[in-house]
């Protein structure tokens, strides 16, 4: 049973890796990805303001970028 | 490129000369500013009966001919209003001293004690430079200074990024160091020592102001010391992967090590007897080290006329605070120049191991304790809507309105006597309004 499970995991791993090879796009396929709103940090000012609010009101910060310190907010 | 730089310098000098001579400099200014992008915003954040905040941001970015990017950001905010002081409500009115130790305030029976002294202005300036090199590498250096009446924060950070596989994969590694110093109003109270409370005399004087009387042997600044500091070191490792023509994914691991003073010097704890009646009010105290791990995953998906942005963050630390955050934005383009964007965020955290809504007089005093609901168990959600419009001249404006609610929870503490009939975990409700302008 255990051997079967290991074989399954190995097969799944190989399939995953071969899947990775087909990830990504050619340079001429970047029409949608190149849009401003598709940037990961689009609306950077909004994200910064949100970080300040949630940093002040909740016990966790960071993740997207540095957790930092920065204010003695109440 | 050299020529271009010289041209920029020349136009700058020409602009300066024009300004000095009082001749129209519009042409020179246009030349200087055309490579700059400005993002500005004003934000209002207001809680029902509690804190309100007004914040302004100016973010300027210049992309140079070699694709390096210079960014400078100025943030100004001003905060007023009341904040929960950490003590529990009681069936009678309670008196507290203000952080300055010079005055007092009274909280009505059955109400969550709020200290309405908070009034602060913060100025933050940050700058960064991103330099591409060797075709597929980018290095970014950043500095950050933030100052307010009782707080100063200085930070330095660096980020290195490497593109792989026809820029479909990006690896990143960043390091940040932050130094914060706090000089609390009235001094830093010794952790878990009693707050000295004045006697309330009433408001019978001519101005109708509350009057308080201190014990004869009271000395201002008793049980209090000077300023404190802490350092924060952050490490971030990330992978960004283009999945296909429509989808992009990012995964970050973050490690944050904080050393130093993390107590909130303005927060208190009630010490109650078996009947739930307050016998003493003490200052809170938190551990002076904290190690946090965060795992952040974000996906963006482009539809023909929309963008879906979903992120999830799991964070855990040695204070026993685990949190889950789901943040999602759905942008729908309404034609070429307008969009509407709903925002949904859900947050959940467990309580710190030293979180106590109050202390029981019969129990031995713990080493650390805080009744600050922000380190207690809670859930929170945000619902928002943003509308944006691009004008004919290429400038863009947007408005955003959001509702944020925090629901603190009882993390399994018994509520003796009168406390059972009082609301110890009131919800906090806030409204966020924002206006953006991009040019």
The owner of tokens 């965060």 is B294
* A67 with B234: Cβ contact below 8 A: yes
CB-based burial, B356-385: b 16+ in 10 Å, e otherwise: bbbbbeeeeeeebbbbbbbbbbbebebebe
Put simply, whether A74 touches B (Cβ < 8 Å) is yes
Phi and psi of B33, rounded to 5°?
Answer: -95, -10
- Establish how many alpha carbons lie within 13 A of residue B337's alpha carbon, considering only the half-sphere containing its beta carbon: 9
DSSP class per residue in A19-49: HHHT-S--GGG-TTTTSGGGSTT-SHHHHHH
**ipTM of the predicted structure?**
0.88
Task: Provide mean pLDDT across the span A18-34.
Answer: 81
Q: Does A34 touch chain B (CB under 8 A)?
A: no
d(CA B118, CA A46): 25
Cβ-defined contact of A66 to B241 (cutoff 8 Å): no
Question: In chain B, what's the furthest Cα-to-Cα distance?
Answer: 81
Q: Identify which has the larger pLDDT, B203 or B340.
A: B340
CA neighbor of B75 nearest in space, from B38, B119, B34, B42: B42
Model pLDDT for residues B96-139, shown as the tens digit of each residue: 998 888 888 999 999 999 998 778 899 999 999 999 999 999 99
For chain B, domain boundaries:
1-34, 37-438
CA distance linking residue B130 with residue B174, whole number of Å:
13
A71 contact B CB<8A: yes
Q: B381 contacts in A (CB within 8 Å)?
A: none
Question: HSE-up of B202 (CA within 13 Å, CB side)?
Answer: 3
Instruction: Give the tens place of pLDDT for each residue, A28-41.
Output: 999 999 999 999 88
Q: Residues of B with CB below 8 A from A70's CB?
A: 124, 144, 146, 153, 155, 178, 180
Position A20 pLDDT exceeds 60? no
Query: Are B286 and B263 a contacting pair, CB within 8 Å?
Result: yes
For B37-438, the fitting CATH number among 1.10.3470, 2.40.10, 2.160.20, 2.40.160 is 2.40.160
Q: How far apart are CA B11 and CA B30, in angstroms?
A: 10
pLDDT at position B32, please?
Answer: 60
Arithmetic mean of pLDDT over chain B: 90
The Cα of B397 is separated from the nearest Cα of chain A by a number of Å equal to 12
**pLDDT digits over B412-422, tens only?**
999 999 999 99
The CA distances from residue B24 to B11, B16, B29, B30, B256, in Å, are: 13, 11, 10, 12, 52
| Residue B154 CB coordination number (10 Å) | 16
What the block records as the tokens of B121 is 């202005």
Question: Does residue B262 have a pLDDT over 50?
Answer: yes
Hey, are the CB atoms on A44 and B59 less than 8 Å from each other? yes
Q: Is A37 on the interface with B (CB under 8 A)?
A: yes
Residue B199, strand partner residues? B213
């Amino acid at each position: 049973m255990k051997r079967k499970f290991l074989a399954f995991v190995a097969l799944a791993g190989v399939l995953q890796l071969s899947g990775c090879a087909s990830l990504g796009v050619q340079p001429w396929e970047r029409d949608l990805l190149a849009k401003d709103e598709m940037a990961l940090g689009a609306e950077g000012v909004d994200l910064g303001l949100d970080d300040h609010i949630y940093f002040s009101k909740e016990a966790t910060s960071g993740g997207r970028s540095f957790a930092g310190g920065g204010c003695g907010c109440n | 490129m050299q020529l271009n730089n010289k041209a920029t310098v020349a136009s700058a000098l020409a602009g300066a000369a024009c300004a000095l001579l009082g001749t129209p400099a519009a042409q020179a200014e246009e030349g200087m500013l055309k490579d700059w992008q400005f993002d500005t915003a004003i934000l209002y954040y207001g809680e029902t009966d509690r804190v309100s905040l007004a914040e302004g941001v100016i973010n300027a970015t210049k992309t140079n001919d070699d694709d390096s990017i210079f960014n400078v950001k100025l943030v100004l905010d001003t905060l007023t209003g009341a904040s929960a002081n950490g003590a529990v409500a009681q069936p009678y009115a309670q008196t507290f001293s203000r952080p300055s130790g010079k005055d007092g305030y009274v909280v009505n029976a059955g109400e969550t004690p709020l200290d309405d002294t908070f009034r602060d202005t913060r100025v933050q300036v940050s700058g960064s430079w991103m330099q591409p090199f060797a075709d597929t590498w980018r290095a970014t250096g950043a500095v950050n200074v933030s100052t307010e009446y009782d707080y100063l924060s200085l930070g330095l950070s660096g980020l290195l990024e490497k593109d792989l596989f026809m820029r479909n994969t990006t690896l990143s590694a960043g390091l940040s160091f932050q130094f914060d110093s706090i000089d609390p109003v009235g001094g830093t109270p010794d952790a878990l020592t009693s707050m000295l409370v004045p006697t309330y005399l009433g408001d019978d004087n001519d101005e109708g102001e509350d009057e308080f009387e201190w014990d004869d042997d009271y000395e201002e600044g008793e049980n209090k010391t000077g300023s404190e500091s802490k350092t924060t070191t952050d490490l971030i490792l990330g992978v960004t992967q283009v999945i296909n023509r429509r989808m992009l994914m990012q995964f970050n691991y973050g490690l944050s090590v904080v050393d130093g003073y993390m107590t909130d010097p303005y927060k208190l704890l009630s010490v109650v007897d078996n009947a739930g009646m307050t016998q003493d009010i003490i200052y809170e105290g938190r551990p002076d080290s904290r190690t946090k791990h965060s795992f952040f995953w974000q996906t963006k998906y482009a539809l023909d006329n929309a963008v879906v942005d979903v992120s999830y963050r799991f964070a855990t630390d040695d204070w026993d605070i685990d949190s889950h955050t789901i943040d999602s934005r759905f942008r729908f383009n309404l034609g070429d120049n307008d969009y509407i964007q709903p925002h949904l965020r859900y947050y959940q955290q467990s309580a710190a191991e030293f979180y106590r809504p109050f202390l029981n007089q019969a129990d031995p005093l713990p080493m650390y304790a805080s009744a600050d609901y922000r380190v207690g168990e809670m859930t929170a959600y945000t619902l928002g809507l943003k509308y944006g419009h691009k004008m004919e001249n290429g400038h863009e404006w947007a408005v955003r309105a959001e509702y944020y609610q925090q629901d603190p929870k009882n993390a399994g503490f018994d509520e003796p006597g009168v406390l059972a009939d009082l609301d110890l975990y009131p919800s906090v409700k806030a409204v966020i309004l924002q206006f953006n302008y991009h040019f």
